[in-house]
Amino acid sequence: MAVMSMDVQKKELNNGITVATEVMPHLRSASLGVWLKCGSRYEEKSNTGISHFIEHLLFKGTRKRSAATIAESIDSIGGQLNAFTEKEYIGYYAKVLDEHLPLAFDLVSDIVLHPTFPADEVERERNVIFEEINMVEDSPQELILDLFMEQFWKNHPLGWPISGTKKSVANISRNDVKKFFENNYTAGNIIVAVAGNIRHREVQKLAERYFSGLKRGAATELGHAPEVFSGRRIRRKAHLEQTHLCVGTTAPPIASEERYCAHLLSSILGGGMSSRLFQNIRERRGLVYSIYSMLNLYQDAGSLVVYAGAAHDKAGEVVDLVLKEFGSLREKLVSGQELKRAKEFIKGSVMLSLESSSSRMTHLAQQLIYYGRFCGLEEILDAVERVAARDIRDLANRIFDDSTLALTALSGRNGSDLNAVSMRV
């Protein structure tokens, strides 16, 4: 498999901001991202949702631009401008034609560094977030994942929904927003990542021009790792035609040497149409339409979660079958053919995910956040290739443990049959 070469550089500004760049001369685009190493896990219970609230508000006006002017500025050059909040970071990004990169720097830096948080916009956006929370409540596939994490990492920020709750968002004041912004949007928490048809030095000069005046500040503290709560949680929700299920357990943290093994295990279990869950539970038995596994990996914790949606009277059978697949991975080595297929699936996914300037920009920032360095594509692909069948079995024996297994269900019925399911592998 041919590996794409990487022309990558890193520079630290005097105030502590890290600037990461990757040259992709075959493109006409450039993607700029400003990344804050302070996502929703850095919140208190009383202000959960404030990181996401601020992300919304930063587009509502700066010292020199109104919300309308921000929108017009990016539309006038045919660019894309957006943001997102995750558990351990927040990102603000623009994708533009390479010739418009200076304007992208001016616009994104203005949004991130100089918001005014207009009082009327705070109240208006609060209502928008209420509707966002309502939307999740009306989407059982999204809601069940929030419910699972809330139970699995109970009383820990990693278990709280990123958007917060209606109660917590209602209690966040404009002063709370300004204080949280001032404490966390500091140079010590920022990575500026740029990829595309660029020149390293020109990007570094732009970063110095727009970001060198920001105070260093203190890096946000990570806090303690979450405690795992096993067992089951069943919530009844009227008018659901299916029972939505999450069965999960622990997984290695994101920087663990076992992360490649974990991705392969998840792929074999439920990562695609040829996975064990899809073939055995959907294709052979016809019990579900959607079933898959996912990894949620963070700096000091991780979870592997299986999602499935089934008829109410088949939900218990589906859980039993999922647990049997856990047991099979513990007891038997995966075949050489199955392991090879999973490796090609992972390697192909990695390569395909890095074909745009925006994805390469994201890749740069995430590597610095979690590993403190750039991992070349060849290094990643080699690490995947080195995983052996016995490594997967060893990991399965550690994580598919009865003491860490958890079940969450969202059902139109009372779920009494799920209470009877033995949560043992």
Owner of token pair 């490649």: 260
How do the residues of the chain divide into helix, strand and coil, expressed in percent and rounded to 5? Answer: 50, 20, 30
Per DSSP, the three-state class of 250 is: strand
Q: Is 55 a catalytic residue?
A: yes
Q: How many residues belong to the chain?
A: 425
* Contact criterion met (CB below 8 Å) for 230 and 405: yes
- The amino acid sitting at 88 is E
- The amino acid sitting at 333 is L
Helix (H), strand (E) at residue 278: none
H helices then E strands: how many in the chain?
A: 16, 11
**Catalytic pick among 12, 22, 43, 55:** 55
Long-range residue pairs from 330-337, CB within 8 A, at least 24 positions apart, any chain: 330/393, 330/396, 330/397, 330/400, 330/425, 331/393, 332/393, 333/389, 333/390, 333/392, 333/393, 334/268, 334/389, 334/392, 334/393, 335/389, 336/389
Rg (CA), the chain: 23
Instruction: State how beta strands 231-236 and 406-411 pair.
Output: parallel
**Beta strand extents in 228-344 (DSSP E only):** 231-236, 243-250, 288-297, 302-310
Q: CA 360, CA 366: separation in Å to the nearest integer?
A: 10
Q: CA 100, CA 121: separation in Å to the nearest integer?
A: 29
DSSP 8-state class, residue 62: B
Helix (H), strand (E) at residue 104: helix 101-113
Q: Which two tokens stand for residue 165?
A: 């709750």
Helix (H), strand (E) at residue 418: helix 416-419
What strands lie across the sheet with 243-250, from one edge to the other? 231-236, 406-411, 243-250, 302-310, 288-297
Catalytic residues, which ones? 55
